[in-house]
Homo-oligomer: A and B are copies of this chain.
């Protein structure tokens, strides 16, 4: 039986597993070490703190979520359609994770509450993708807005209720889809100014 070496990757895997099994409140670094058959001190050789380990797990989790979004952001085609599909995907991804991956979502929620670097990076990444879609729309004459970067940030801010985890409790409201439709109508019109 070969002994796999203790790598950053194996620790992240075990940490994500522990986080999912026990939740962000109960998972300890001793749990992670036990799953790997090592002492908890060894984990601290690869991560400076438990917080750093949690952030790294969240980073991977967010990165996986970004994959399908990136695909839409990099498509060709009408910018308005792409932006709408991109937002739908973002909202669906957040909702799916809130329901289907509650422990890791709670973990993300906690990190988002404190202004952790990994979350800021995630938001910056989202803004960049929206900016790209809006930029394409302007290039094709489909959209028109004075400051595309500001508009991208504004689109994310304006739709925050539907994807910001701070509002997760509202996502089961019956009127939530109608509310998004109204906001979408408003901002799409705003992006089409001439």
Contacts and interface: CB of A to CB of B under 8 A. Distances in A.
A166 interface: yes
A189 B193 contact: yes
Top 8 nearest A-B pairs by Cβ distance?
A190-B190, A158-B158, A154-B182, A189-B190, A150-B182, A186-B190, A189-B193, A154-B186
Given A166-B167, A190-B190, A192-B193, A157 B179 contact: yes
A179 to B, nearest CB: 6
A151 interface: yes
A124 interface: no
Interface in A118-170: 145-147, 150-151, 153-155, 157-161, 166-167
A73 B150 CA distance: 28
A114 to B, nearest CB: 10
Contacts of A14: none
Contacts of A191: 186, 189-190
A2 interface: no
Given A189-B190, A192-B193, A153 B166 contact: no
A38 interface: no
A186 B146 contact: no
A179 B150 CA distance: 8
Interface in A92-117: none
Given A166-B166, A193-B192, A158 B183 contact: yes
A124 B192 CA distance: 29
Contacts of A158: 157-159, 183, 186-187
A60 interface: no
Contacts of A52: none
Nearest to A178: B150
Contacts of A161: 157, 160
